[in-house]
Structures are given as C-alpha cells and as structure tokens.
Chain A
C-alpha cells in the first residue's frame, strides 16, 4: 500500500513542477501603443532613486512640487483626470537596480522609472524594457526635444541602435581636493597632477598634516559601481587601453594595464596614503563624503554628482554634507594619465562619463500618457526648473546654454572634461565585469598583491563571459 502511494506523490509533484516551469521565463507581452489612449481617468507612477531629505533630494522635490502638479494641470486642460504617484527610494544604486528588476520581472514596476545607461543592455536583453517606438509608436520619434539632445548623450539610452528612453543628462569625473589642507601641506591651490606619481607625491605631502586621510580613490565591493566608474576605469583609461574592445568583443584580463592600475591602488592603500577601512565599510562611500565635507580628506575622485548633490552650499539639497565654503575651499583637476601621453588616444588627461535617463515600462496601462509625462519632465521649462534647484548637465543643449554658465565646475566639465572623456561599454555583461573589478580592488585593499588580484580577476572573467571574450595577459 505504501509504495505505490509514494510513487503517486512523486509523480504528482513532478507533474505540477513541469506544468509551472513555463513561469520561469519572463512573459513576452505584446506592446500596444494605443492601449487606453483616450482614457479620461489616468493613473501613473514614477520611480526613481531619489528621496525627499535624502539622496538626490533636489530631484525628488522637483518631481513632487513641479512635475506632478504641472502634469496634472496640463492633463486637466485636456479634460483628463490624472493621478501621478512618486515612489522614491534613497538607497545604493545596486540595491535600486535589484529592486527595479524584481519589480519589472513580476510586473509591479512604475510606469516611468529612472535607470543608469549601463543597465540598459541587461534590461533590454531580459525584455524588461523595449524600444520606445514599440511601446509608444510614432509619437516617440516625433518629440521635438530630440533635436536638442546630442547623439553621444542619446547613446546612453540606446542599445543595439534602438532608443529605449530619454536621457536625463551626462556627467564627468574629476579630482577634487581640499585647498585648505593643500595649503597646510605646502601644495598649490591650482594643483594639476600630470601623472599618477604626482598624485602619490601630493598624498605623501598631505600625510604630514595631522588627522588627514590623504587620498580617497574608490575601491572595494561596498562602493559598487562607484569603484569601477570613479576609480578603476579612469585609471585604466590612463594606461591607454579600454576595458572592452568593441571590435574583437574582448575584455581585458590580467593585462599589464590592469596590473598597473591595481598596483597604483596598492601604493595608496598599502602605503598609508588612503584608508582601507573606508573601502570595506558597508556605507564607506557615504563616510568618505562626510569626511571630505568635514575637511578630513585631501584628494577625492568623484563625478560632478559629488559637487552638486553632496557638497553644495545649500543645506536643503545637500543636508549634513553641505559645505558652505565649497566654492572657495574645494579645488578640482583633470585626472592624469599614468604618464603624460599614455592615456587613451594618446591623451594626457582622461575621464569617464555616464548618464542615466527615464525609461518607460512596456507593461504600462497607459503608454501614451506615460510618454507624455516623460516628455513633460524633459521639456525645456521643466529642465530649467530642475537646474534652479540643482545645477547639472542637462541633456538639452538649449537648457545648458542658459544654466551651466552660472556654475564654475559644471561649465569646466562641459567644456574641458567632456571632450576627453570615455564611456562605459553597453555590453550586457558589463555589470558582471564591473563586480569582478570591484572584487579585484577589494583584494588589493585587503593586502593581496596586484598580480595575484589581477590573475583572480582574469579567472573570474573567463568564467563569467567565456574564454573567447577575455584577452589574457
């Protein structure tokens, strides 16, 4: 009696399992641009990694106080009752990405959401986002704003030749330094390092000032993408070879370039010129921000986000890390190549840029209205309003022309940095490779040698993207 029953149970379970296995693959819904096109009651949700009183507070305030009321009013004029909800978050970008993907996978995501350009390859190949012309049809191409957005910025929201969203700007990385500490260490206020050795020399000088952490170049896994984009990649660009060779579709493994970048990390964190704990703490990046704003860090490499959203003088935007005397006390310089002329394309100075944008959920109940909301957010008026609260490089040339001139760093970045910058690969494996990079820098910070970290990096890479896509060194 017992045996047959056991068999029945197993058979039943397997059958149910087989039946449900169809659920694993993400659903392939056909987009219908005309869905609910004439609806009189519209409800939309916006999702971004912004939160009032916290991360990206200026953008959160802008959405709550400008975008939502403005859009509702515009719809009212057309006889449509619109309800727009803002779902903000104030977490690490990696966590935001995971949450976003889980939402898209289960069909619970917002209609309009922000995303980093480097996520697009993954999101698109998973089918979580679709090209705009599929989701909203002809109205995508006919938006008048496209003419104001340069091709290179549009590239941030494009994948395999298709446009997936509207970019919300671009950025650039520079070296920030504290002029007061520099004066104490006998360094010039108009400091511009010409090689990595210049950075190390300044670090050694700063070390003599009591209570100062000389250099902060992001490393380790808790910093996430900030390690790759603000630390490893600008340095690698300074060795003259890009991380990913588009033509051969190969990633750099344990090459001489990767090893010398890791060795530079070793010189900083193994040589007492940086604080390894900051790279290992769970909230290390936030701590580094706080330290810099309190005048405890001499040199720090970050994007313009740091200038406008972390150490800005306005306490309502930058909260506890606001620096009232930022414009007088904080200097900035271009990131040098390893040695003059050694950078990518033979450059003396390098940078890395990225940028995100607003994406449209293909499963939105109101695709046309969501698209209208996106274009409203990216209109010249709305962007100018946002720039008043927090200056940033808008994707729109007409907005930049009037807003950037008022801020020294932002005009420096748009004039001096953007011409020498490089962009991260849009390959769908980028984020996996980025994690391997973070692991390699973490290994160096915790005491491993540069060459052993590089060879571990190479073997992780080979496993993740396949031997054929790794250029072994």
Chain B
C-alpha cells in the first residue's frame, strides 16, 4: 500500500515541471489516475488476486499475528502453564530485551550475517563470477557444478560432511594439517560457522553476479580500456555502477536468509557454552528444547521485526538510488539550462 501511495503523496511539485523526464511521467501515471489499466473492473480484479491474498493471509499474516499473541502468554510445552497459559502482557518482550542471552544471540547473529553473507558470500560470489567470466567454457562449467553442489546438497548431508571434516579425533582437516586433537568447533565456533556459510552460500551470489555481469555492455568496457582504464578502474567506474542494483538485491536476499539460517545448529549445536548461538538457534533451544513457547514466540517476533528493518533499509537504499540518479540528472539539466542562458545573454 505504501508503495502505490508514495509517488502521488510525496512527489515534490517541481518535478512535474517542463523539465520532467519520461521516468517521472511514467511514475505520475500511477494508480491514482487510472487504476483500471487492464479493464477488468474492481470486482473481477479482486477475484484474481483473492487466492494469492488468502494464501498470504493464512501462511504469513496469520502466523505473525499468532506469534505476537503467543508472546503475550506465559505458555510452555510442559508443566502447569501448558494446560492453562495465563496472559502476562508484554513481559516476555521486555524480558527478552533485558536478557543478556538474547543480546548475545543478536550480536552473534549480526556477526554471522555480516561476515558470512554481506562480506563473505558477496565478495567471494562476485570474484568467482568476475574472474571466471572470461575463462574457457570447460573450466566455467566445472566450477559451476562444484559451487552449485555446495548449494543444492541438503543441509543435513552437508552438516554431516562438515562434521567429518572438522572432527576432533579422525577429522579430515586434522589429518591434512597434521594437527592432532584440535577441536575446531569448540575452539573457533563462530569462525567455523562463518566459513561454512560462505562456502555454502557463495553459489547463489556467483550465479546472480554472473548474470549481472552479462548486462554490462562490452562497448562500455572497450571504451574504458581505450581510455587507458586499468582493470580495477574498469571494475569501479564501469561495472559496479551498472550492477549496483544487483548487488543490493543480492545482499538483501542473502542477509535475510542468513539471518534466519538454522544450519549452524547442525555444526556446533549453538555451543560451546552459547558461543555460536545465533537467534534462530536460541529460539529453538528456548522454545522447543526448554519448552518455553511463550518466550520463544516473543523472540521470534523480535527476529521478524529485525528482518523487516533490514528489508526496509535495503528497499530504501534501492529506491534512494533512483532518487539520487534522478536528482543528479536534474542537477545536470539545470546546469545545462543555466549555461544556455549564460550563452544567450
């Protein structure tokens, strides 16, 4: 709803002037003017979207509200409060915000997301796509298969393979490095799950960036080369501006996925001593293992809110980007007009 109402309400009056671009005119022609573009009529149009809305309502809106409601109860899997939960207001929510375990889990989640997704998967995915863009077909295919394998294997299988890799006694890593008895998951739990997630998720970024890099016009790159731009300069001034939106979309997606990722549990179980207990793992251990369903629901809702904040942040960035380039265009046009006037006088 905010999406459709935004252009009509927030548009500054100056933009609609004679200097308006095609883009702006297209935006002006929003639903406010002629909502029935297809000619279906309100009733039939509603009929078409109804199934989708029902699905969204049943599987997204309702569970979210349900979680909110459960979070207000002193509700547990066992004990007396399983039989007759009592309403305790916002206590679960206030408890969570002052709970050091929650704050720690949130901090670890941010570390996990920041290092494994935003930095790790993004950069590794981009580099793979960039360096293998010009590689021979056979090399590219082999690489694609290898990277995709990490992505398409079921999480439980992958976790089992990694346990075999990192095992303290007969692990592959200890054998290769000839380090006996190093307990990788106990000594460096966060590093282990960060590296694991980079390895697992880089495939998605690579695919997305490989597609994005194809949209960079070769002519632009040739011009840049002729102007003497070094590879780094080509990357910075030609490639990155073109794929900027892809970078944001990719970062948005992998951030949200990683934020809700439960796979660390399969590797470290949140341990040792909560050292790798990210929010989804914390929710699982609170709600399911310790049976504290009300409190678990409250944290789940906070996790949902954190997701929303991230999503809104990225969407703002994406849209802000449009406004920015528009403004720059307007500035350039104004400058040109001023120059014209100066020439005329």
Contact = CB atoms under 8 A, between A and B. Distances in A.
Interface of A: 2, 6, 13-14, 16-17, 20-21, 24-26, 28, 94-95, 98, 101-102, 105, 119, 121-123, 125-128, 220-222, 277, 280-282, 287, 428-429, 431-432, 435, 442-443, 445-446
A221 B84 contact: no
Given A281-B183, A428-B79, A24 B271 contact: no
A6 B83 CA distance: 35
Nearest to B64: A13
Interface of B: 1, 5, 57, 61-62, 65-66, 69-70, 73, 75, 77-80, 82-85, 168-169, 183, 185-186, 268-269, 271-273, 288-291
A282 B82 contact: no
Given A24-B85, A281-B168, A432-B290, A122 B272 contact: no
A280 B79 contact: no
Given A6-B1, A98-B291, A435-B290, A128 B78 contact: yes
Contact of A126 (B69, B70, B83, B271): B83
A97 to B, nearest CB: 8
B290 A280 contact: no
Nearest to B73: A24
18 contacts: A2-B1, A2-B5, A13-B61, A20-B66, A24-B73, A98-B288, A102-B77, A123-B78, A125-B78, A125-B79, A220-B272, A220-B273, A280-B272, A281-B186, A428-B79, A428-B80, A429-B79, A442-B272
Nearest to A100: B78
Contacts of A94: 289
A277 B183 contact: yes
Contacts of B80: 125-126, 428
Contacts of B69: 17, 21
A24 B65 contact: no
Residue of A24, A28, A98 contacting most chain B CB atoms (<10 Å): A24
B65 A101 contact: no
Nearest to B68: A17
B289 A98 contact: yes
Given A16-B62, A277-B168, A222 B1 contact: no
A446 B276 CA distance: 14
B78 A222 contact: no
User: Which 6 pairs show the lowest CB-CB distances between chains A and B?
Assistant: A280-B272, A126-B82, A122-B78, A125-B80, A282-B269, A127-B83
A442 B273 contact: yes
A113 B70 CA distance: 29
A28 B84 CA distance: 10
Given A25-B84, A102-B77, A105-B82, A13 B272 contact: no
B285 to A, nearest CB: 9
Contact of B77 (A105, A287, A445): A105
Contacts of A429: 79
A340 B226 CA distance: 90
Contacts of B269: 222, 282
Contact of B65 (A13, A127, A277, A428): A13
A379 B61 CA distance: 54
Contacts of A16: 62
Contacts of B268: 282
Nearest to B285: A221
Contacts of B83: 25-26, 28, 125-127
A18 to B, nearest CB: 9
Nearest to B70: A24
Given A13-B65, A94-B289, A443 B273 contact: yes
A102 B288 CA distance: 9
A172 to B, nearest CB: 27
A382 B69 CA distance: 49
Given A2-B1, A6-B1, A277-B186, A446 B78 contact: no
Given A26-B82, A127-B83, A446 B273 contact: yes
Nearest to A20: B66
A101 B82 CA distance: 10
A280 B186 contact: yes
Nearest to A443: B273
Nearest to B53: A9
A222 B271 contact: yes
Nearest to B271: A280
A25 to B, nearest CB: 5
Nearest to A429: B79
B337 to A, nearest CB: 39
A315 B90 CA distance: 55
A222 B1 CA distance: 48
A24 B71 CA distance: 12
A239 B279 CA distance: 38
A21 B84 CA distance: 12
Contacts of B77: 98, 101-102, 105, 126
A24 B288 CA distance: 15
Contacts of A280: 183, 186, 271-273
A122 B292 CA distance: 13
Given A282-B269, A428-B79, 11 more contacts: A17-B66, A26-B83, A101-B77, A122-B78, A125-B82, A126-B79, A126-B83, A128-B82, A282-B271, A442-B272, A446-B273
A17 B297 CA distance: 15
A101 to B, nearest CB: 5
Nearest to A279: B272
Contacts of B75: 24
Contacts of A105: 77, 82
Contacts of B183: 277, 280-281
B288 to A, nearest CB: 6
Contacts of A98: 77, 288-289, 291
A282 B168 CA distance: 12
A286 to B, nearest CB: 12
A287 B78 CA distance: 30
Contacts of A121: 79
